[in-house]
Amino acid sequence: MSYLKQISLSFVFVIIQLFGLLQTAAAAEPAFELTLRSKMTTEPLWKARILTRKGEFTPGIEGPACDAAGNLYAVNLQRQGTIGRVIPNGSTSVFVELPEGSIGNGIRFNADGDFYVADYTGHNILLVDVDTKQIRTFAHNPAMNQPNDLAITDDGTLFASDPNWKEGTGQIWRIDPDGSTHLLASQMGTTNGIEVSPDGKTLYVNESVQRNVWAFPINSDRSLGEKRLVRQFSDHGFDGMRADVEGNLYITRYGKGTVVKMSPNGEILQEIDVLGAQPSNICFGGPDGRTAYVTEVESTRVVQFRVDRPGRSWQLMKSHQ
């Protein structure tokens, strides 16, 4: 066999080996993803575990909201007036500093992948551009007490709870996509957690001090119909509230140290210990939308637990990708 022919055959052999390696790698990647998903599905449901270290956030820890990539955003990391980002392994960093005098509370992502922040000290709804990190005032109304938590509809309409803690009263605002504000309800109790049902026809609002959970029909013009009492609790307070894709509500029980999963008709389906007495808010994320993240004030950290159905907001975000 000639020298040149030997080189040619060797070259062909190397190409065949490389092709085989590429095929093996391509086959291994889905298998690896399957292993990860399999591990997630074998994690026990409703069992909280720690995500971030104690003391990384201030006692003003709130928010929270997940982006499409699985990162978690929560307010007041390290100091008041910041928005922190938590990557899936629990590492934290300050994402943006809010304008001087502004302190955030609830966070919600829109269809563009940017997020709104309820700025309770400035009576604002801020909009943060995730790519540029620029912050602008999306809506402002001095008649707001202190915008607290946010809910968002399929078309980008926002609803904001607006408690007056000193007076024990509260309001509900609608913020349209053009930034205009509309007072929808007043003379309520201390409105706090707020959420839209998966079909977009119902707005749920809880009252922290009075311990009521109300359901409002959302009319075609985005006004609210007559409220209906879903359930009144006999003890402890409420804070944040989110829905899963089936319309079940997850409500943080501030002072009790749990999150309750409640049906749209008020039946308690689960109650989850969140490793601290003061859970302030909740959201859903992770690769399948079935990881619940809870901000907890007593230990100033984030905990997480697995659930049986994806969150409504996670599904809505994925539908816009």
Taking 70 as the threshold, does the pLDDT of residue 200 lie above it?
yes
pLDDT value, residue 320: 79
Question: 37: pLDDT confidence band, cut at 50, 70 and 90?
Answer: low
| Token code pair at residue 60 | 């003003």
Question: 42: pLDDT confidence band, cut at 50, 70 and 90?
Answer: confident
Residue 15: Cβ within 10 Å count:
10
Burial 281-295 (b: 16+ CB within 10 A, else e): bbbbbbeebbbbbbb
Question: 27: pLDDT confidence band, cut at 50, 70 and 90?
Answer: very low
pLDDT value, residue 43: 86
Residues forming a β-bridge with 231: 213
* Distant-in-sequence, close-in-space partners of 165: CB < 8 Å, separation ≥ 6: 146, 190
Taking 80 as the threshold, does the pLDDT of residue 51 lie above it?
yes
pLDDT value, residue 197: 98
Taking 70 as the threshold, does the pLDDT of residue 24 lie above it?
no
pLDDT value, residue 29: 40
Q: How far apart are CA 244 and CA 83, in angstroms?
A: 25
Mean pLDDT of 178-201: 97
pLDDT tens digits along 265-312: 999 999 999 999 999 999 999 999 999 999 999 999 999 999 999 999
Mean pLDDT of 42-68: 96
